[in-house]
Structure 1
Amino acid sequence: MLRLYQSNQLEILARQLAEVLASPALSPLQSEQIVVQHPGMGRWLSQRIASQLGISANLEFPLPANFLWQLFEQLLPDVPHQDSYQPKHLAWRIHQLLASLSGQPEYAAIGDYLSDGGDLRRFQLSQQLARLFDQYLLYRPDWIHTWQTGESAVPGDHWQADLWRKLVAQESRHWVHFQQQLFQSIDKAKPLKACNPRICIFGVPSLSPGYLEIIRYLANWIDVHLFLLNPCQAHWAEIVTPEEQARLSLAASGEDLYLDLGHPLLATLGRQGRDFFAAINEMDPGSEEAFRLQPDGSLLHRLQNQMLNLEPPEAGAVADDSISFQLCHSPMREAEVLYDQLLAALDELPGLRPDEILVMTTDIERYAPLLEAVFAAPGERPKIPYRISDHSIQRSNPLAEGLISLLSLPGSRYGVTELLALLEQAAVRARFGLDEAGLEKVIQWLQQASIRWGRDGANKVDFGLPEEDRNTWRAGLRQLMLGYALADHGESLWHGLYPLDAVEGSDSQWLGGLLAFTEAVFELESVFAESATPQQWQKKLSDTIERFFAVESGSEQDLIGVRTCIEQLVEETGDACDQVSLSLALVRHRLSELFEQPMERGFLGGGVNICALAPMRSLPFRVICLLGMNDGQFPRQPQELGFDLMRREFRNGDRSRRVDDRYLFLETLLSARQRLIISYCGQSQRDNMPMPASVVVEELRDCLQQMVGESGLARITHRHPLQPFSPDYFRSGSDLFSYSTEMREAAMTVGRGRAIDLPLVEQPLPAAESQQVIELDQLIQFFENPQRQFARLRLGINLEAAAQLPEERERFAYDRFEQSDLEHQMVDLLLQEHRAEQLFELFDSRGLLPHGQAGRLAFEAMLDRAQSMSSRVADCQGERLEAPLAVEIPFEQNRLSGYLRTVNQSGLLAYNTAGLYPYHLVRAWIRHLVLNQLRPKGVRLETRLLEAERDGRFTPVDQPEAHLQKLMQAYQTGMQTPLPFYPGTSWQFVERYLQGDPEKAQKEAERKWFGSSHHIGDVSKPYNQLLYQGHALNQQAFAETSLTLLQPLMQHLEWQ
């Protein structure tokens, strides 16, 4: 007996299912089989059945394909436990067959795939063919029969038919074969004793004609109960869209033109369900209908009722918040808006629980981290519990991500950032004895060693470049090892190699870890060089995991997940490829696909359910939210294959992803019980121009406009500002709102025209204990950039961390700071009597120069400037003191300590081949004050200043302690709150001020601060942006501080 239960509400169908299960039909030891389309449906059903019957036990929820194969195993002899025609198995069988078909004229259509690209390209073709043959089995069994008789089924099928016959020659037992055997068995009236006397099929949106035929045959012998969600209680098999009506009218006339339009959404979204119910009704089942009108007149319920009754949209509905459209500028803003919408729903809908809310997104990998950031953000907003499911294994399992990265390295450039990305994984660091401090030290070493890319020179040859070791891993690591072995070797080469003196003391253990890691990485080249069988690959991959990852407590599940995917890879190759050698590229491709599988954990696990917008998720929730409903993202448009024969001959019941997605959207409209929230990026971040929504959203909006009018549609369409702290959220009468007190305070600040960075610096920080004794070097670093030191030392913010990472890009030119630094090094070495050719060899060995002739030219240009400066320096400096001068200068509240180095009998010297910038002069001035305070015997109390075009000096200072006292006080202030002193801007101001024009001085300072099209202003520097957010100078504080610190300097500065 075949019994059909129909309803527009899944809860009613679940209640009917529970009533069927309550009537005993099975042996107590037999489990009930309830066929569902998705495991999530099974979990939901189990909860509903337990709620109604008090218990939910001994139930199985197989998927349709698994159920039918189990049925074959129960009822037919000689059924293999594993279906070798499943796409994942069939792809490997096709892959093996195609290897022997290259060059055959029958396969000229796919000749390029077979002759070029290796086994990876062939396997990718095999996967497409396997999916295609799976569709033929389900929707074109007549073709299968025809091909197996040696005939052609449709024009142009010759090579596919031949390939199919070769597959059948290997293994003839596919599901169409077993279907025919089952029909013959049932036709011969063999009793189905091995089969359950009752089977229930619940909530499936579609089944292939072959599946339906099996159900029809089974229903002659056992009870088959079909529980189907139907959006419409009227007969809607013949309704068409306006486009279809127009097309059909061209080929018909008279009474043939009678075509029912019905409800537009059923016509445009419901093709899959329309064809499915038409096929079900042809089976003439006994039907039990339990449709229910929604009770109130909300817009959502009126829409659902109109579809239920097959009524066209009627005007007069009230535009309420049961359906709303949230138009945002970015996915992040969608996540922020969603949180406020959910808080509003929890406030406004009586008794609403978080687990009665469903959030579905068109791209879970993109939206999941954004939702995580918003839902888990600290603050005063109420917290909403949530669960995110459908993450891919690779995105949620660092071991999977790390393994794919390792498999991608052989044959690569071995870029420094690629290997560092691996070392950033805790499991990899732990395996090689590195912690976070060790990683920071390693990054410094790699930068100092100028490692950029390439294992060695031979690796560069693979990319068509000369065999050059410079800037490779081998060259850089040799520098580090030599520097450790030859400590204090100085700035000279050892047998043509540069010893980099960077590794000190116990840091050697980290160097050992780095060496072990890089050697292990480079050995992968030989480990994975040869193709291997699946079983050999399993061992190679297991060994790689063991060598590179230290799995600690709490990470065991990650390891199990990775090993399970590797076992799945080996298992699915089956007998077809168990002795076939597979390349690294092919194994990496397939393993990546397995790692991209969504994880089912978390769905219906408590809290707000966040998951992918995927078919078979038509579960009822009081509130349903859809994110990312943008044009082009939904419905999904799969890539069409040129050799897909089904495209040429459409039949009712044929599946396509686009049609599936449309029906999914229709089911979502039915499943929302009280509120439907649809969000998409409807406004451009760049210019605020409107951006279109998904076509299904636009069709819904067209329908709603007929119900509520244009003004009503506008009332339920909310266009959100670019920023969450917009005052629009907090104005009375606004349709926008926010629950964030932080954003409210920010909005009030913006409304008053104040900068919103004030919380960073609004109250001075308490004095640090380290301010009692201030090191001289620390004082100098502070006044070079006070904002940077305040942020780093007091706020713990280092904006330059990313910039400190080594670069992969080879050096072709220098910026002015790099060039100045190299020229300064040249001057120092020339003063130590290094010859020009020695300098070139040294700099070239260190990897500091561009490769080839460009490096020689760049070196000679810098050498000219360095030689000119070195001769001037030699003329200026006298005999250097044997030891640095100890500095111990007490003040009222603290003490200045340290050493004054590079003092000679002529005093101090500061030089720069490019020019002395204000921060250079401030540095030299502080050292000059210390020298004048110490007053060593036999030393002139002046500082010589050398630039490319001029000389200068700081003259002796009569009362250096008073100036140092002001610097120490400014340091203390600047370590508690940002000091309004910016060397470049302050210099411009004081220089003009001392010329007697304060007004012009202020204008010059503002010009320097804000910059122009020709130069970047100080306000744009990272730490000033952090602390000041681009606002104008505080004129009084800036002027007072700048004059206090720079006026004495300029009064003692003389240029020639």
Structure 2
Amino acid sequence: MFQVYHSNSLLVLKDLLAEIIRRQPISDPFQAEQILVQSPGMAQWLKLELADSTGIAASVDFPLPASFLWQLFSAVLDDVPERSAYNKEAIAWKLMAILPELLEQDIFSALRHYLENDEGCYRLYQLCQKIADIYDQYLVYRPDWIEDWEQGGNLAANRHPWQPVLWRALRQYTEGLQQPHWHRANMFSAFVKAIKGQKANGKLPPRLFVFGISALPQNYVQALKALGEQTDVHLMVMNPCRYYWGDILDQSQIARMNRRWFSKPDLDFADYAEGNPLLASMGKLGRDYLDQLQETSTEEIDAFMELERETLLSAIQQDILDLENPARFPEQIEHSLDKPMVSEEDSSLVLHSCHSPLREVEVLYDQLLAMFAGNAELKPRDIIVMMPDVAAYAPYIEAVFSNAPAERYLPYSISDRSNRQENPLLLSFEKLLTLNRSRLTVSDVLELLEVPAVMRRVGLDEAGFQKLRFWIDQVNIRWGMDSDQRSLWDLPLFEQNSWRFGLQRMLVGYALGEQSDYWQGVAPYVEIEGLEAELLGKLADFIDLLDQTRAHFGQARLLPDWIEVINALLDNYFQPDEQDEISLNAVRNVLQSLQDQVVDAGYNEPLSPVIIARYLSEGINQQRSSQRFMVGAINFCTLMPMRSIPFRVVCLLGMNDGAYPRSIPPVGFDLMTDYPRRGDRSRRDDDRYLFLEAMLSAQDKLYISYVGRSIRDNKEKIPSVLVSELLDYVAQGYALAGDEKLDYNASGQRLKEHLQTQHPLVAFSPKYFSATGPLFSYAAEWLPAVQLTAEPVPPFIADPLPEEPVQQLELAQLIRFLKNPCRHFFNTRLNINFSSYAVAARDEEPFALDNLSAYLIKQRYLEQALRGHNLDLLDQTVLAEGGLPVARAGELPLGKIRHDCTELAEKVKPLCTGEAKRIEIDQVIAGVQLQGWIDGCYPDHLLRYRPAQVNARDRLATWVEHLALCACNYQKGTVYRGLSGKVIYRPISTDEARAHLSDLIAFYRQGLSSPQAFDAGSAHEYFKQQGKDPEKVIQVLENRFYGSAYGSGLQDDPYVRRAYPDFDSFLQGFLPLAERIYAPMLAVIEEGDDD
């Protein structure tokens, strides 16, 4: 008996299945019930539902259709192998073996042209994969073509006549391997004959259920129909409509027919489109499947469930069930009285427009909290959240859901992520497979080394890893193993900034010690000593291992050799824990599968590294770490077939234009596109039907969100065409209660606006915390930020902190304070440090010399020049350190640095007459013991010099030292020399110096109680602009505060930004402090030009 059950509810079909099992149990208690499903998720749901209905769900198997039928064929037919000789993988490897021998034939000229210059046979591998996939589709959807080709025909192959020839060669090659001739094209017909010939008695299951599968190929249906002649087959179909809907047309089909065919006057093809527009547009997959079932002439049982039109969602579902279109003749409707009314309180269908996927998830979280708050019976397991690609949304889901506080925590589970997406070990393994094509940047190597399993194998802890990161940056390693590897990118042979270069610097520096200088072309790095040598050795061993692996993946090998290499790779790089061992077993399983396929295909040619890497990467990505679907939490999963399980709330994220429905460009030589048939699979048609199924499976609420605004410029973005169709359908057929008197289009637009919610760019928008607006948020942590945006920004510290006693003060500490009073306040009084000491990996060799590096080199040159040392050796050392661009690009700026510093040394030397003394400062000033040492005190003056332009902070620091010396009766004056120009500080009296120091110490005390609005550079610019238009002066100061495209501003300093968020708050305190702190210095200095 072959019986088909139609219902618009999976719950009804489930009840029918449970009742059949209860009333008609299998006579053999050891025989398992066979229920075909299309996904493990459906099997899990059905198992739980059966257990709930019958009290237990034991001795029930849930095979997938393809695997079940293969087992059935194996039981009925002779010599059916466990694994088909014509599965997609076997076909691909066999084509790899036979196709090169056929390319010389004229019929294969197109393929021969494509495979020209095929390095490593990678194009051949890709082509064979594509052809194998096409042949696999033919076996299922065009078995008549395959049978004709095997008989010597060329059916349907006019455009690509090589395909039948290649198939026959494949068939002959397979027979030569002594493998069975069975494949899916001939097995179905053989199976049907065996059933009709009574040759399958005793080999068939006593009963078979086919539950809720959206579509099956025609030969699958025929096989099940034949099976129904010998045993009971119950085919339970989810049918959204109770009436026959195989002949309804969507608007695009109608438009094509009107363009293509001449018709009689007054005849409109739209007359044939009676029915529901949503069903016509989105239901092609189900429509074709139901047509196939109609052709079987079977007994059918209808079990449709009526829906109450209590909500908009249920009304839409009932429209589809009844094949109705509420907007059948919109041109005949003058007002909205004839439209069904929708209550403003109806939230069964909602759409949310956001600016980014992260905002989609944040909005979803708040909406879910509102659902739970409004319905105490709603449970997390009643909600499913689906999206086109769960991997793209997984980081945002983890960020939002896992970081929620305990009082707002919602249990959740993410399904459909591959092993690679969940385990960094597998990502690192894939990187190792492509080392021969990697630039081996610092980031690449550190990401490998940072994987816990790799760190355990190398013997590193976190502290050791961070030290290695610091050393690598210090020795200027950037990328490349050595000069030989760089030549692979057609670059000149240069060792600088490579791993060999950096390791050599570290090893030589450790061997020669601190006294080492330039040695045989190497600039030793001398900061590694003692027990740190062990850590350096671990790095050297790891780099050597990478180099060996790179060499292993540089040539083609036979598969047994590759297996040996990859197993050694796993052992050498990873020391797995229990969870890692599961991941490594996934790699070994893929390797075993590859070996089985290659052996079965009889392929004995060497495989290139790129083919091995591609196969293993794809194999790992296809595996799933776990299927946590239906675990009692909110389910996040990819939109895929048979996720139309009934849920009270169905949420769809990422319904963006272009992202859904998904589309895959057709293969150019796919003959099925030339000769399409009803029932052919299409990704776009599948996705359309999935959307329809999701809409029908929502029992209480359908929640849709999409990126409707650009995060960059706020421009509007349209949603998926499916969302637009749903909105148009609702607008044409329904109206909000109270809009009865509006015209047809106006009421539709009002309903659209009511269903859609546009969310702000950020989660802390004041709109979410307004008592009158429709938006809301449960994230109370954003409330302080909202209150700040709604009110004027208060000062960072409204009242100064209590004064701290200052009894002793180091002169250097006073200078540090004057250079950045805000930073000193945060660091010293609040013990807050905003600075980040993380070393960022640099992956490119230097192409230009940055200002800081140039200044540090200038300091070295100036000191050596003043001491009269040979600068040629310093030239060699600096070039060998790798901090400069390669070759002439580095030699030219270095030459200018040497020239400038030599000139400055010549100007400084005359100022160094006599013996320089170091004077101790130990004075009680304003009740504070001011202490410190000042060196560079010559008989005639204090000397300061710097290989740069004299800046305002240097002037102020020298001013403090000048005051301290004058306060100690050192009345000699001060000279500050820069690269161009000099500053001379005239001596002042002891009393005047002490008075100035007293005021600076008082300013220091103030700076411990509150952040001070003072900046030496701004003060210098302020006095430089004196005498000009006051408004222009203020504009100059504002530009310096905010910065520009040509340089950073004070606000780029996190300490200043925190204390003074805007220019006005800074300016108010700055002007009097500039007069107080900087002006006295200007009264005693003289600017001098170069001598």
Query: Is the contact between residue 102 and residue 115 of structure 1 (CA under 8 Å) also seen in structure 2?
Result: no
Aligned-partner Cα distance in 2 for 1:583–1:806? 32
Over residues 23-54 of structure 1, what are the superposed CA-to-partner deviations in whole Å (9 max), with x where a residue is unaligned? 21252112111111110111111110111111
Query: Is the contact between residue 309 and residue 318 of structure 2 (CA under 8 Å) also seen in structure 1?
Result: no
Residue 607 (structure 2) pairs with residue 582 (structure 1): yes
SS of equivalent to 1:78: coil
**Aligned pair partner of 1:541 in 548, 566, 570:** 566
SS of equivalent to 1:1033: helix
Report the more deviating stretch, 980-989 or 826-835.
980-989
Aligned-partner Cα distance in 1 for 2:100–2:937? 78
Residue 893 (structure 2) pairs with residue 869 (structure 1): no
Aligned to 2:170: 167
| Residues 1032 and 259 of structure 1, relative CA distance in 2, 3 Å threshold | same
Q: Residue 534 of structure 1: CA displacement? A: 3.1
Aligned-partner Cα distance in 1 for 2:512–2:665? 61
Residue 445 (structure 2) pairs with residue 445 (structure 1): no
Aligned-partner Cα distance in 2 for 1:527–1:651? 49
TM-score, normalising length: structure 2? 0.89
Q: Residue 675 of structure 1: CA displacement? A: 1.0
Which residue type is aligned with residue 988 of structure 1?
Answer: E
Aligned-partner Cα distance in 1 for 2:790–2:514? 61
Aligned to 2:1051: 1019
| Residues 107 and 1029 of structure 1, relative CA distance in 2, 3 Å threshold | farther
Q: Residue 724 of structure 1: CA displacement? A: 1.7
Please, which runs of 5 or more residues in structure 2 have no aligned partner? 328-338, 736-747
Aligned-partner Cα distance in 2 for 1:517–1:321? 60
* 1:90-169 equivalence runs, <5 A: 90-117=91-118, 118-154=120-156, 155-169=158-172
| Residues 163 and 801 of structure 1, relative CA distance in 2, 3 Å threshold | farther
| Residues 1033 and 1003 of structure 1, relative CA distance in 2, 3 Å threshold | farther
Aligned to 2:779: 740
Aligned-partner Cα distance in 2 for 1:654–1:826? 76
Query: Is the contact between residue 380 and residue 741 of structure 1 (CA under 8 Å) also seen in structure 2?
Result: no
Over residues 917-940 of structure 1, what are the superposed CA-to-partner deviations in whole Å (9 max), with x where a residue is unaligned? 2333445456666767889xxx88
| Residues 672 and 442 of structure 1, relative CA distance in 2, 3 Å threshold | same
Query: Is the contact between residue 985 and residue 1018 of structure 1 (CA under 8 Å) also seen in structure 2?
Result: no
Query: Is the contact between residue 661 and residue 688 of structure 2 (CA under 8 Å) also seen in structure 1?
Result: yes
Over residues 627-664 of structure 1, what are the superposed CA-to-partner deviations in whole Å (9 max), with x where a residue is unaligned? 11111111111021110000001100000111100100
| Residues 160 and 361 of structure 1, relative CA distance in 2, 3 Å threshold | same
Residue 885 (structure 2) pairs with residue 850 (structure 1): yes
Over residues 439-477 of structure 1, what are the superposed CA-to-partner deviations in whole Å (9 max), with x where a residue is unaligned? 332233222222222212222222222222122221121
Residue 509 (structure 2) pairs with residue 509 (structure 1): no
Residue 1031 (structure 2) pairs with residue 1007 (structure 1): no
Aligned-partner Cα distance in 1 for 2:96–2:445? 33
Aligned-partner Cα distance in 2 for 1:294–1:534? 60
Query: Is the contact between residue 92 and residue 131 of structure 2 (CA under 8 Å) also seen in structure 1?
Result: yes
SS of equivalent to 2:1065: coil
Over residues 229-272 of structure 1, what are the superposed CA-to-partner deviations in whole Å (9 max), with x where a residue is unaligned? 11111111110112212333443646895523310010000000
Which residue type is aligned with residue 265 of structure 1?
Answer: L
**Aligned pair partner of 1:914 in 948, 958, 961:** 948
Which residue type is aligned with residue 606 of structure 1?
Answer: G
Residue 210 (structure 2) pairs with residue 201 (structure 1): yes
Aligned to 2:14: 14
Which residue type is aligned with residue 194 of structure 1?
Answer: K
Aligned-partner Cα distance in 1 for 2:432–2:827? 35
Aligned-partner Cα distance in 1 for 2:492–2:821? 46
Report the more deviating stretch, 521-530 or 560-569.
560-569
Q: Residue 1025 of structure 1: CA displacement? A: 4.8
Aligned to 1:1034: 1066
Over residues 91-114 of structure 1, what are the superposed CA-to-partner deviations in whole Å (9 max), with x where a residue is unaligned? 222223334334432221222443
Aligned to 1:729: 768
Aligned-partner Cα distance in 2 for 1:326–1:174? 49
| Residues 635 and 1055 of structure 1, relative CA distance in 2, 3 Å threshold | same
**Aligned pair partner of 1:317 in 307, 316, 341:** 341
Aligned-partner Cα distance in 2 for 1:966–1:603? 72
**Aligned pair partner of 2:978 in 947, 953, 960:** 947
| Residues 198 and 1025 of structure 1, relative CA distance in 2, 3 Å threshold | farther
Query: Is the contact between residue 136 and residue 144 of structure 1 (CA under 8 Å) also seen in structure 2?
Result: yes
| Residues 532 and 1000 of structure 1, relative CA distance in 2, 3 Å threshold | closer
**Aligned pair partner of 2:238 in 206, 220, 229:** 229
Aligned to 1:833: 868
| Residues 970 and 280 of structure 1, relative CA distance in 2, 3 Å threshold | farther
| Residues 485 and 44 of structure 1, relative CA distance in 2, 3 Å threshold | same
* 1:616-695 equivalence runs, <5 A: 616-695=642-721
Over residues 892-932 of structure 1, what are the superposed CA-to-partner deviations in whole Å (9 max), with x where a residue is unaligned? 99998987677766765443343022333445456666767
Aligned to 1:559: 584
Aligned to 2:741: none
Over residues 168-225 of structure 1, what are the superposed CA-to-partner deviations in whole Å (9 max), with x where a residue is unaligned? 2214221223223212211211243122110111111111111111101100001111
Q: Residue 340 of structure 1: CA displacement? A: 1.1
TM-score, normalising length: structure 1? 0.91
Q: Residue 767 of structure 1: CA displacement? A: 12
Q: Residue 478 of structure 1: CA displacement? A: 1.1
Aligned-partner Cα distance in 1 for 2:163–2:825? 71
Query: Is the contact between residue 364 and residue 611 of structure 1 (CA under 8 Å) also seen in structure 2?
Result: yes
| Residues 184 and 853 of structure 1, relative CA distance in 2, 3 Å threshold | same
Residue 1018 (structure 2) pairs with residue 985 (structure 1): yes
Which residue type is aligned with residue 181 of structure 1?
Answer: A
Alpha-carbon RMSD across the aligned residues, in angstroms, is 3.4
Report the more deviating stretch, 727-736 or 56-65.
727-736
Aligned-partner Cα distance in 1 for 2:807–2:85? 77
Aligned to 2:791: 752
**Aligned pair partner of 1:251 in 242, 256, 261:** 261
SS of equivalent to 1:233: coil
| Residues 378 and 660 of structure 1, relative CA distance in 2, 3 Å threshold | closer
Aligned-partner Cα distance in 2 for 1:929–1:553? 68
Aligned-partner Cα distance in 2 for 1:375–1:967? 53
Q: Residue 137 of structure 1: CA displacement? A: 0.5
Aligned to 2:738: none
Aligned-partner Cα distance in 2 for 1:552–1:896? 59
Query: Is the contact between residue 434 and residue 553 of structure 2 (CA under 8 Å) also seen in structure 1?
Result: no
Residue 834 (structure 2) pairs with residue 809 (structure 1): no
Q: Residue 889 of structure 1: CA displacement? A: 8.9
Q: Residue 612 of structure 1: CA displacement? A: 1.3
Aligned-partner Cα distance in 2 for 1:1027–1:550? 49
Query: Is the contact between residue 489 and residue 499 of structure 1 (CA under 8 Å) also seen in structure 2?
Result: no
Aligned-partner Cα distance in 2 for 1:507–1:895? 42
Query: Is the contact between residue 147 and residue 186 of structure 2 (CA under 8 Å) also seen in structure 1?
Result: no
| Residues 739 and 564 of structure 1, relative CA distance in 2, 3 Å threshold | same
SS of equivalent to 1:1034: helix
* 1:772-783 equivalence runs, <5 A: none
Report the more deviating stretch, 570-579 or 450-459.
570-579
Aligned-partner Cα distance in 2 for 1:405–1:971? 55
| Residues 907 and 344 of structure 1, relative CA distance in 2, 3 Å threshold | farther
**Aligned pair partner of 1:596 in 621, 628, 639:** 621
Query: Is the contact between residue 1042 and residue 1051 of structure 2 (CA under 8 Å) also seen in structure 1?
Result: yes
| Residues 1000 and 637 of structure 1, relative CA distance in 2, 3 Å threshold | closer
Which residue type is aligned with residue 284 of structure 2?
Answer: R
Which residue type is aligned with residue 879 of structure 2?
Answer: D
Aligned-partner Cα distance in 1 for 2:197–2:251? 49
* 1:421-436 equivalence runs, <5 A: 421-436=447-462
| Residues 499 and 1054 of structure 1, relative CA distance in 2, 3 Å threshold | same
Query: Is the contact between residue 861 and residue 901 of structure 2 (CA under 8 Å) also seen in structure 1?
Result: yes
Matched positions, count: 1045
Which residue type is aligned with residue 645 of structure 1?
Answer: L
Which residue type is aligned with residue 585 of structure 1?
Answer: V
Aligned to 1:614: 640
Q: Residue 18 of structure 1: CA displacement? A: 1.3
| Residues 199 and 548 of structure 1, relative CA distance in 2, 3 Å threshold | same
Aligned to 1:5: 5
